[in-house]
Structure 1
Amino acid sequence: MKSTSKYERIQHLLSDLKQPAYRFQQIADAIFKQRIGEYDRMTIIPKAIRNELIKNFGENVLNLTPVMQKTSNQVNKVLFAIEGNEHVEAVQLSYERGWKSYCISSQCGCGYGCRFCATGTIGLKRNLTADDITDQLLYFHLNGQALDSVSFMGMGEALANPYIFDTLKILTDSRTFGLGHRRITVSTIGIIPGIDRLSKEFPQVNLTFSLHSPFVEQRSELMPINNRFPLNEVLNKLDQHISDTGRKVYIAYILLRGENDSNEHAEAIAALLKNRGPWEHLYHVNLIPYNSTDVTPDNFHQSDKERVQRFAHILKSKGIKVTVRTQFGTDIDAACGQLYGHNK
């Protein structure tokens, strides 16, 4: 499946108009270096060419529209309207050291139905095109924001969207976004063919695997995908990814009080990740506080601080690298899928 991005279509148009090769670079520089978001303001381009761009692409470079924004001291969350009367969300996180990180969506909704996830309650509306995805970042860039790092942890399962690989090409293209591969993170619930393709085509892009339970039955109950791509098969694939790329794999683990935060769970995670071979030190667990939402089941709650610390302590004592993620944005419904729900 291929969706031609606007950047490719601009290049086709320029070659149809018999324009010199440097013309595309001028347009890309206008967008990405001078942050010009309207074709008509790109005065370095001849007027006739600007008119052709407007005729073919509309007046604005950006094809999505911000319709709702919520901001707290470190989080800026935006709901965008996209083609087909649908909406997607993106989140900007600002760290104290001045680093700007983005959490962007790869699908409108999600069809995998993980039980604790607000996006899962929406169902899958559609895959986002490469433009839908990259425009989320372009919006922030045109508004003067630095794009320091990007993760596909917004709405949807990135590796289930065939356009994700076109998207990664655009994000890493030196003429456009020019992001370093290691500043991009793709998060997956364990789509094995996608992990395979990522290892081959973008080996330096960071990979995060959503675990959420080390016990097969419980994981299948929380995340039905486990029936299709069983945990052990996914872990074997991740071993292969690490040995092929020499890169870390992050294990995301959302702590749900009384559900998956017991000492036994921590010990079972350690057992899963130990003795996997010479690369086992490249697994790194990220413990994530749960954001409860209006649309997820009432029986899920955040683990208390002491429990989180104890869980982390057990993992560390077993030699597992672990980070407890700080929680951002609970006050503004920053869990993915929440603004979408409010807007409806």
Structure 2
Amino acid sequence: MEPKFDQLKTFIVEKGWSPYRFKQILQAVFKERIDRFERMKALPLSLRKQLQQAFGESILSLKPVTRLSSAQADKVLFELPDHNKIETVRMIYRAGWESYCISSQCGCGFGCKFCATGTIGMKRNLSADEITDQILYFYLHKHPIDSISFMGMGEALANPQTFVALKTLTDPQLFNLSPRRITVSTIGIIPQMRRLSQEFPQVNITFSLHSPFDEQRSELMPINRKYPLQQALALLDEHIQKHRRKVYIAYVMLPGVNDTPDHAEALISLLQGRGSWDYLYQVNLIRYNPAVGTPEAYNRPQKRELDSFYERLKEAGLNVTVRQSFGVDIDAACGQLYGQYYIRGKPKEVEEK
């Protein structure tokens, strides 16, 4: 299915209206931040009624159900047209910067051991509109869109509609976002990583590593058996050399599992000496956030162990940061987008806090 703005453009022409009317719709949405066709007063009443009949009352294809808030994060539960639900997180930095963690799938079918979303399995891919409407919802509510990460529910590169959504988000007539303000996270779907590098070279890539050892990575992330770590890194090497863009390595710290001195040394060996450009690898250490549905053996790391791991990487010359955690208290942090409405596979409504 075509994205809605393409459908609207075609609809205007087919109904015999001037192409200028489509520009007025874009003006209403992206300048005046109007979501309902009936309120787009620059349009003739007859056209507004036609738009309502064809596309519904609102420009949005999803409906907010609940919203949980903490000091630095908002998590919104959206209902899709088929009544499935997804979660989106808005993060507020102290400097005023607002970043968004959006979902690309309802559920996930890749079964990473530490990720809550994977425990509910794969429901379906989101359409391009369902992906971009997560951002449009906040934009229409007058929030700035400073950066976007495809790090919510699902594996972004397993959904072909992610590429359509990226085109919409960077379209100068629509969201007009710089690709450098967008990050796509992937567990390592190599063919689609290559496509992303070719079609959107300026979009930031975050590669989920989580263990430098092949056997352990396969245990934690079954995708490693199909797309081995070294093959994924070889592709990232090519991306860096060709585009001179930094690549982010996400590493979730699992106490007693992947945070030992041996892991630190193996990670250093893995990323150093790859070439004169290997300084463009940036390691992001992420505190594991316990969540519903994940193994009880996984705990949040202690500061001492995290600091020790960080210092060893730093001493070795790696570029490394500890990612700031947002929304832990509302289950909105990394790995926690599970959807508490899924209890043993059955939807359950979430009560707003």
Which one of 97, 103, 106 corresponds to residue 101 of structure 2? 103
- Structure 1 runs (4+) greater than 6 angstroms displaced: none
Give 1:22 deviation, angstroms.
Answer: 2.5
Q: Which residue of 2 aligns with 1:330?
A: 328
Q: Distance in 2 between matches of 1:65 and 1:255?
A: 35
Equivalent position to 2:308, from 307, 310, 334: 310
Aligned to 2:149: 151
Residue deviations 1:218-255 (CA, integer Å, cap 9, x gap): 10000000000000000001101111211000000000
Give the TM-score, by structure 2 length.
0.95
- Give the match for residue 173 of structure 1: 171
Work out which of the residue numbers 286, 306, 312 in structure 1 matches 2:284.
286
SS at 1:236's partner residue? helix
Q: Is the 8 A contact 2:86 2:339 kept in 1?
A: no
Whole-Å Cα distance in 2 between the matches of residues 70 and 151 of structure 1?
A: 19
The CA deviation at 1:29 is 1.4
1:255-274 equivalences in 2 (<5 Å): 255-274=253-272
Query: Letter of the aligned partner of 1:103 in structure 2?
Result: C
Q: State the SS of the aligned residue for 1:112.
A: coil
CA contact 1:208–1:252 (8 Å) conserved in 2: yes
Work out the CA distance in 1 between the residues paired with 2:320 and 2:226. Answer: 28
1:45 paired residue among 39, 43, 47: 43
Looking at structure 1, the residues matched to 22 and 316 of structure 2 have their Cα atoms a distance apart, in angstroms, of 54
Whole-angstrom distance in 2 between the partners of 1:246 and 1:269 = 22
- Paired amino acid for 2:137: Y
Letter matched to residue 168 of structure 1: L
Query: Counterpart of 1:197?
Result: 195
Q: In the TM superposition, what is the alpha-carbon distance from 1:340 to its structure 2 partner? A: 4.5
Q: For residues 3-49 of structure 1, what are the alpha-carbon distances to aligned partners after superposition, in whole Å with 9 as ceiling and x for unaligned?
A: 31111100110110222233222101101111101001101111121
Q: Is the 8 A contact 1:253 1:285 kept in 2?
A: yes
Deviates more, 1:5-14 or 1:333-342: 333-342
Paired position in structure 2 for 1:301: 299
Q: What whole-Å deviation, never above 9, does each CA across 1:93-144 have from its counterpart, x for those lacking one?
A: 0000000000000000000000001000011100000011011111111111
- What is the alpha-carbon distance in structure 2 between the residues aligned to residue 341 and residue 253 of structure 1? 27
2:223 to 217, 222, 225: 225
Aligned residues: 342
- Equivalent pair of 2:268/2:316 in contact (CA under 8 Å): yes
Choose which of 214, 234, 237 in structure 1 pairs with 2:235: 237
Equivalents in 2 of 1:249, 1:67: separation in Å?
A: 35
Distance in 2, Cα, partners of 1:144 & 1:240:
39
Q: Judge conservation of contact 1:106–1:164 (CA < 8 Å) in 2.
A: yes
Q: Name the counterpart of 1:214.
A: 212
Q: Secondary structure at the match of 1:50?
A: helix
Partner of 2:113: 115
Query: For the Cα contact (< 8 Å) 1:293–1:338, is it kept in 2?
Result: no
Deviation at 1:330, TM superposition (A): 1.2
Which residue of structure 1 lines up, in the alignment, with residue 30 of structure 2? 32
- CA contact under 8 A between 1:107 and 1:127: conserved in structure 2? yes
1:129 aligns with 2:127: yes
| Contact 2:128–2:164 under 8 Å retained in 1 | yes
Cα RMSD (Å) = 1.0
| 8 A contact 2:65–2:79 mirrored in 1 | yes
| Contact kept in structure 2, 1:158 and 1:187, CA below 8 Å | yes
Whether the 8 Å contact between 2:182 and 2:204 is mirrored in structure 1 is: yes
2:259 aligned counterpart, secondary structure: coil
**Alpha-carbon distance between aligned partners in 2 of 1:247 and 1:266, rounded to the nearest angstrom:** 24
- Using structure 1 for the length normalisation, give the TM-score: 0.97
8 Å CA contact 2:9, 2:19 repeated in 1? no
Q: Distance in 1 between matches of 2:5 and 2:43?
A: 16
Q: Answer yes or no: is the 8 Å Cα contact 1:106–1:128 preserved in 2.
A: yes
Query: Residues 120, 305 of structure 1: CA spacing in aligned structure 2 closer, same or farther, 3 A cutoff?
Result: same
Q: Distance in 1 between matches of 2:69 and 2:305?
A: 29
Tell me the CA shift for residue 328 of structure 1: 1.3
Contact 1:79 1:340 in 2 (8 A): no
Residue 83 and residue 149 in structure 1: after superposition, are their counterparts in 2 closer, same or farther (change >3 A)? same
1:90 corresponds in structure 2 to: 88
Distance 1:141 1:339, change over 3 A: farther
What percentage of residue pairs aligned between the two structures are identical? Answer: 54
Q: Distance in 2 between matches of 1:34 and 1:77?
A: 25
Q: Please list every run of 5 or more consecutive structure 1 residues that lacks an aligned counterpart in the other structure.
A: none
Contact 1:189/1:211 (<8 A) preserved: yes
